[in-house]
Amino acid sequence: MQNPDLINQAADIFGSQCVAVGIDAKKIADGKWTVFINGARIDYKLDLLDWVREIERRGAGEICLNSIDTDGVRGGFDIPMLKAVVDAVKIPVIASGGAGKLSDFADAFLQTDCSAALAASLFHFNELTVGQVKDDCRTKGIAIR
């Protein structure tokens, strides 16, 4: 973000498939989000949807989108933000921040067409296994590897 040309340079050297851009964002109004930097401590005052379109144009191959509002809360992924980003770009988007129960993963896929969803504490504390998540998604008709 502070050097957006880095996206172009990395894509030119390594190919877009190797360039994943992580984004921390927070809701500021209905249908509006702003991008944060420095571990989600500094509001960069940049519209999220403008930024995702820019990084796609610069050659990013995927986006890892973390919702500051839902991260660590375990109440589910930020579906409105995730859907807005997925709908704004053609590159894969990974959902991050908010998974708290098994159904949160399928909800993200079914409601947003995101390409992937990640979680940490649910797996680290053995509350769920990757196998359980995959099985649940498959039973809901979600193609998963």
**Mean of all residue pLDDT scores within the chain:** 95
pLDDT above 90 covers what percent of the chain? 92
Q: What does the pLDDT read at residue 25?
A: 97
Mean pLDDT computed over 74-91 = 98
Here the tokens at position 62 are 């995927």
Res. 13: pLDDT tops 70: yes
Domains and CATH numbers, the chain: 5-137 (3.20.20.70)
Q: What does the pLDDT read at residue 1?
A: 63
3-state SS string for 59-117: CCCEEEEEECCCCCCCCCCCHHHHHHHHHHCCCCEEEECCCCCCHHHHHHHHHHCCCEE
Q: What does the pLDDT read at residue 19?
A: 97
